[in-house]
Homo-oligomer: A and B are copies of this chain.
């Protein structure tokens, strides 16, 4: 009965209840709406052996890998967007630091198709991809399927059905019905594909505010298990209409992450050293306030009849 009742809880409670050692987790969001607040709470709670799925591991998984949370990463592009490599990811893959990291690798479309298959509970998804690429050679989960009409062979990928999806949204009601705008990434498919869904919201609003614009609802409450209020929960990623991306931090991460000592120091100060995202936001202070979005409001539409 995921569909019913008030699901609001703290981040600590949501992570404690749904993210277990060894589980398969997806924190989605393509550049936009990446929930660092959830990742940091997972690090604080000391989760281990996670299979981390995301198109772009980004800083969010680089930090979790460095903190020793990850056993495996399922991904399609592992870089620091706009600023170079992901050093913790590279150390784990190239040299097994802090411990060996298993990888399972696709292209973006392959990951999107895996989530699409997962959301639709299909055992495979066909796509025109991977011919002539070595990706299929090194990943046995990329196979061929024969079209029953034309006889042609297409690539096929299996569904990805994580145990838990963490989806950051701009606003949600207490049942988990969530409005998202700006870049949508693959969040809808990742949420429908997962057994449990944690919605993390910049704002929790009245059910009536969601129902006033139902076409804006990306995630329906009936698939949601927990709703967490976490303003600034995406920093250094961003939330359209709330705050900008902290591009400076993405560049700084290059220096922070190039050696394990400085990275550990950073984790101590900014993850273990704060009890919650609220403390983190307070600690960031003016830097965060400077990222606040200007107003650029959409015009209304009429839902009357």
Contact = CB atoms under 8 A, between A and B. Distances in A.
Interface in A224-283: 238, 240-245
A129 to B, nearest CB: 11
Interface in A109-141: 121-128, 141
A154 B301 CA distance: 41
A34 to B, nearest CB: 15
A82 interface: no
Given A240-B303, A293-B304, 8 more contacts: A122-B126, A145-B147, A213-B301, A216-B298, A241-B305, A242-B302, A296-B304, A297-B301
Given A123-B154, A128-B122, A305 B294 contact: yes
A213 B299 CA distance: 7
B304 A241 contact: yes
Given A123-B149, A304-B294, A299 B212 contact: yes
A40 interface: no
A72 interface: no
A303 B299 contact: no
11 contacts: A123-B149, A123-B154, A124-B148, A125-B126, A145-B148, A184-B215, A213-B298, A238-B305, A241-B302, A296-B303, A297-B301
Contacts of A181: 215, 301, 303
A303 B148 contact: no
A187 to B, nearest CB: 13
Contact of A299 (B122, B148, B209, B242): B209
A21 to B, nearest CB: 27
Nearest to A148: B143
A300 interface: yes
Contact of A298 (B144, B146, B170, B300): B300
Given A182-B303, A215-B182, A295-B304, A128 B124 contact: no
Contact of A170 (B121, B294, B301): B301
Contacts of A125: 126
A110 to B, nearest CB: 14
Contacts of A302: 240-242, 293, 295-298
